[in-house]
Amino acid sequence: MKIQETSIPDLLLIEPQVFGDERGFFMEGWNTEKYANEGLKADFVQDNLSSSQKGVLRGLHYQNPQGQGKLVSVLNGTVFDVAVDIRANSATFGKWEGFILSEENKKQLYIPEGFAHGFLVLSEKALFFYKCTKFYAPQYETTIIWNDPSIGIEWPLNDIKPILSDKDKKGQLLANINKTKLA
């Protein structure tokens, strides 16, 4: 596997080793020992799976306390996946990175605790899978508005009108979030 560091420390883009032939392919989506040998040590406690149609934009979500590290991938379809550093004392606070994750490229993104996360579905449908280091705790969840101008995420919307949940429509600006609610 190849683990690529991004411009934000601790945010990792992963290309698992894929074995394929005319029958299809095989890959390991997680192997504690192999990933740890590459420097990614995580104890996952919960797996999540979501299915979304084209134009669905989920996020930007995070939990504090009880932050979640996430290993995300796309089993079917294509998404633009985004992580925003919200670690209060980080030199890259408020910076974001975005990556195309798809069933074709089979890339994974490791998003450590202290990041807000979201994605936009670019294909007709997408099946999005993620492993979490802590359990979901809705009482600790905060949503940052997806189009916060201080963050400036360049969502590849083209002619797509984002489809948002009520929770995501009511997201807060990063500047308005109490610093004690940040990672």
Tally of CB atoms within 10 A around 180: 8
pLDDT in tens, 93-143: 999 999 999 999 999 999 999 999 999 999 999 999 999 999 999 999 999
Of the CA atoms within 13 Å of residue 144, those in its CB half-sphere come to 32
pLDDT in tens, 74-95: 999 999 999 999 999 999 999 9
> What's the pLDDT at 180?
67
How far is residue 68 CA from its own chain's centroid?
11
* Distance in angstroms (rounded) separating the CA atoms of residues 36 and 64: 25
**Number of domains making up the chain:** 1
What is the separation, in whole angstroms, between the first and last Cα of the chain?
Answer: 29
The domain of 121 spans: 2-181
Q: For 54-139, where are the E strands, in sequence order?
A: 57-63, 70-76, 78-85, 96-102, 108-111, 115-121, 125-132
The answer to whether residues 126 and 163 touch, using CB atoms and an 8 Å cutoff, is: no
Catalytic residues: 61, 130
Tally of CB atoms within 10 A around 173: 13
> What's the pLDDT at 7?
96
Domain of residue 33, CATH code: 2.60.120.10
Q: Does the pTM of the predicted model rise above 0.75?
A: yes
The answer to whether residues 112 and 10 touch, using CB atoms and an 8 Å cutoff, is: yes
Tally of CB atoms within 10 A around 69: 19
Which residues are bridge partners to 163 per DSSP?
56
CA angle, corner 144, sides to 65 and 71, nearest 5?
60
Q: Could you tell me the pLDDT band of residue 181, with boundaries at 50, 70 and 90?
A: confident
| Nearest alpha carbon to residue 162 among 54, 49, 52 | 54
Q: Phi then psi for 100, rounded to 5 degrees?
A: -80, 120
pLDDT in tens, 18-72: 898 898 889 889 989 999 998 889 999 999 999 999 999 999 999 999 999 999 9
Which residues are bridge partners to 84 per DSSP?
96, 116
| Nearest alpha carbon to residue 6 among 73, 74, 81 | 81
